[in-house]
Structure 1
Amino acid sequence: MSACEPGESVGAFLCQAGQMLRAAAIESPRLEARLLLGHAMGATPEQLLRDSRAAVPPEAVARFRAGLAARLAHVPMAHILGRQGFWTLDLAVSPASLIPRPDSESLVEAALEAFPDVAAPLHILDLGTGTGCLLLAVLSERPRAFGIGLDRAPAAAALAAANAAANGLAGRSAFLAGDWATALDGRFDLVLSNPPYIESAAIPGLMPEVARYEPALALDGGADGLAAYRALAQALPGLLAPGGVAVLELGQGQRQTVEGLALAAGLAPLSCRRDLGGVERALVLAKKPVGGPAIAD
């Protein structure tokens, strides 16, 4: 890599890296250049702006080059930084789990709306917990709640446990590795899940940051993208406590089909919250009263 040589200024590094990232079809190349250089130097964006004429410290050059090379290869920025913000939390990330995304915050909003009492002593289950982002976000807003996160990948469960400890929530959470609902016998006020919902054949066509670097186990929803929802529909009636609700993340255009699976399993669709992009993202379900109709928005 001939650009970004020792002795060059912060501004020169940012300019050269931005051009290289733009050529690699990276969105927001200037922003990402600042993130990479700030990470390498241990500096904030404000410090980079203030010190734009200062030379990049020699010890930061190699770190920056390595990060830039990774990003040019479409390694996700969160993997390079090792962190991702979600809700009000700072979470460690790794290739063992999906990177938390803003779209999934709609599930947190739906869950908090379903249980508006801040002091409610909720029992929560998060199926396919990944980084623990959904469960930990709800726990951070409901201080008397306790939650269990379950993931089929032991490395993901360990990552979520570390995130709970780092955010002061280890005392109100537990994380287990197992095959979703079959590993548990209990009733929960709230069940959260961001299941795999991408059609198998569509995964190679996803953006390279996802297709190459995020775990297939957390993406692949089977031939029609609905395999996990079928399993969830069968498991949820036995997992929900009286008055309990489930909040499931949906892929674009999946609401009607998933609601049909839920109804057939004895669940009532209550509402569906859209994400910031307008996609119907967070489906809220409850047990259907015997002889009663489903209630949907």
Structure 2
Amino acid sequence: MSDAAALLRACALPQLEARILLMHVLGWRRTELITRDREALSPDAIARFEALAARRSDGEPIAQLVGKREFFGLEFDVTPDVLIPRPESELLVELALEAIADASSPRVLDLGTGTGAIAISIAHARPEARVWAVDRSRAALDVARGNASRLLDPNRAGGPPSFVESDWTANIDPSLRFEVIVSNPPYIAGDDPHLDQGDLRFEPRGALTDDADGLSAIRRIIESAPFLLANNGALWIEHGYDQAQAVRALLKARGFTDVRSMRDLAGIERCSGGLFTA
């Protein structure tokens, strides 16, 4: 039999990735890889680790292999039906929380919720917020519901999030008004070669690209959002590294004010938004 130390040495993957996979297989914490590294492993555990390592070598994302991804301090379940939460999207949560900082019982709408990472992170940070999470994918909504059930206090003041199967705002009650609307829509252009590279090959295409110019979903959101925003409500949209100017122009043309773009930790203009006066 092999031990953890020998198995990691023999693995061709980057050591961080190998450790994540081995911890997942063994159910060990990081410290146990140190304190139990000479402990003999079962043939079954070795086989499962090697199978996962082979899948990772073929490009399958770590988050899908272990079924988890950390986001905004919470651990979300991930499946191939949803976009893997990424650190840069935490900016969208921060902007939403800033927009509702002075509101009591604020109403928040997340369009294209996927895992529910953005909506649930907002709901977790603001227990009294009432949150709606929208996705056109029933499978994605199932994942988001599971994450909400596991991560949110069932007795939170704002109640459980409302999950709505909808093509953007089509099935949202038109009488509702939201203090902030957020969205991480598909914004990669359909002919972008990155869609056939790396982790993106394994994620749902419809969550990544509009199969057009990368702006069609953003146009729809900007067009419809004012009908659902409270007076002086905010809209924030995540977009591609080179789309900020185009998104600002769309927001201004629709009548948004205080239009601006915010940079992520890498210094990239990652989110753009503004306020709408009803």
In the alignment of these two chains, the number of paired residues is 272
Contact map agreement 1:259 1:269 (CA 8 A) in 2: no
Counterpart AA for 1:134:
I
The structural deviation recorded for 1:269 is: 4.2
User: Out of 94, 98, 120, which is 2:104 matched to?
Assistant: 120
| Structure-1 residue corresponding to 2:198 | 208
1:187 and 2:177 aligned? yes
| Partner in structure 1 of residue 86 of structure 2 | 101
Q: Which residue of 2 aligns with 1:144?
A: 128
Unaligned runs of 5+ in 2: none
Partner amino acid for 1:142?
A: R
- Check whether the contact 1:93–1:159 (CA below 8 A) recurs between aligned residues: yes
Distance 1:174 1:275 in 2: 28
Cα deviation, 1:98-135, whole Å, max 9, x if unaligned, reads: 00000000111111122224x72011111000001111
CA displacement at 1:53 relative to structure 2: 1.9
Aligned partners of 1:156, 1:63: CA distance in 2, in Å?
27
* 2:166 alignment partner in structure 1: 178
- Output the amino acid matched with 1:249: E
Q: Which residue of 2 aligns with 1:47?
A: 32
Q: Normalising by structure 2, what TM-score?
A: 0.93
**One-letter amino acid of the counterpart of residue 257, structure 1:** A
Matched, 1:12 2:6: yes
Partners of 1:154 and 1:176 within 8 A in 2: no
Name the counterpart of 1:129: 113
- Secondary structure of the residue aligned to 2:170 is helix
Root-mean-square deviation (CA, aligned residues, Å) is 1.6
Q: 1:205 to 1:177 in 2, by over 3 A?
A: closer
Report the secondary structure of 2:139's partner residue: helix
Counterpart among 223, 238, 241 of residue 252 in structure 1: 241
Tell me if 1:237 matches 2:231: no
Distance in 2 (alpha carbons) for counterparts of 1:286 and 1:203: 34
Cα distance in 1 for residues equivalent to 2:89 and 2:153: 20
When normalised by structure 1's length, the TM-score is 0.87
Task: Name the aligned partner's letter for residue 170 of structure 2.
Answer: T
1:13 positional shift: 0.5
1:3 corresponds to: none
Report sequence identity in percent: 39
Separation (CA, whole Å) in 1 of partners of 2:170 and 2:122:
23
The answer as to whether partners of 1:8 and 1:55 remain within 8 angstroms in 2 is yes
Deviation at 1:174, TM superposition (A): 1.4
**Aligned partners of 2:251 and 2:273 also within 8 Å:** no
Partner residue in 1 for 2:20: 35
Question: What displacement does 1:59 show?
Answer: 3.3
Secondary structure in structure 2 of the residue aligned to 1:164: helix
Gap change, CA 1:78 and 1:272, over 3 Å in 2: same
Does the 8 Å CA contact 2:179/2:234 hold for their aligned counterparts? yes
Unaligned runs of 5+ in 1: 1-6, 22-28, 290-297
Instruction: Please state if 1:154 is matched with 2:138.
Output: yes
Tell me, yes or no, if structure 1 residue 279 matches structure 2 residue 264: no
Aligned to 2:69: 84
**Closer/same/farther in 2, CA of residues 205 and 270 from structure 1, 3 Å limit:** closer
